[in-house]
Amino acid sequence: MTFEDDTPLSKTQRKQEMQALQALGERIIALDPAVRARLPLSDDMLDAVEETARIRSHEGRRRHMQYVGKVMRKEDRAAIQAAFDEIDQEQVQRNAAFHRLEQLRDRLIEDDSALEPFIQAHPQVDRQMLRQLIRNARAERQREKPPASARKLFQLLRDTAGL
């Protein structure tokens, strides 16, 4: 824990580094287990993460997070950060795909000419259900009803697109 010129880290710098490691540990603990499995974590770190779920007391959790920070010192932080970056990028791409589907749904509801290109791009779609949901969504908008059919239309588009 020294700089390039071999000067030792100050106490403040060491505390900041430990807090950063604890924050990274908190982020790992907060992940869904399926996502966490994609991270390159040691057995010690996995054990510490599993132990966190069993701790109920506030003070016990605080002390355990200090332990997690200590275990994080031995982890390959660059590899963990790279995995987090990849996960974050996938989330950004998924959100963009959902936004495109929302825009497509709105176009289908507002414009009849958007229907045929979608059907040609996805011939496996249930055309009758698609048209019915579009009609119902238009009627809901005109009557200012809750968008139940628009939600169902979005789900149909999502399932058809495979997202």
pLDDT at 4 over 70: no
pLDDT at residue number 8: 83
CA angle 118, 124, 130 (to 5 degrees): 55
pLDDT at 1 over 70: no
Please give the CATH number for the structural domain made up of 90-161.
Answer: 1.10.60.30
C-alpha span between 25 and 10 (Å, rounded): 23
pLDDT at residue number 86: 93
- What is the pTM assigned to this prediction? 0.65
Question: Domain locations in the chain?
Answer: 11-75, 90-161
pLDDT at 122 over 60: yes
Q: Give the DSSP H/E element, type plus range, for residue 22.
A: helix 11-30
Please give the CATH number for the structural domain made up of 11-75.
Answer: 1.10.60.30
C-alpha span between 18 and 28 (Å, rounded): 15
pLDDT at residue number 2: 46
pLDDT digits 0-9 by tens, 136-163: 999 999 999 998 999 999 999 999 888 6
Quick one: which of 99, 100, 156, 95 has its CA closest to 130? 156
Q: How high does pLDDT run on average in the chain?
A: 89
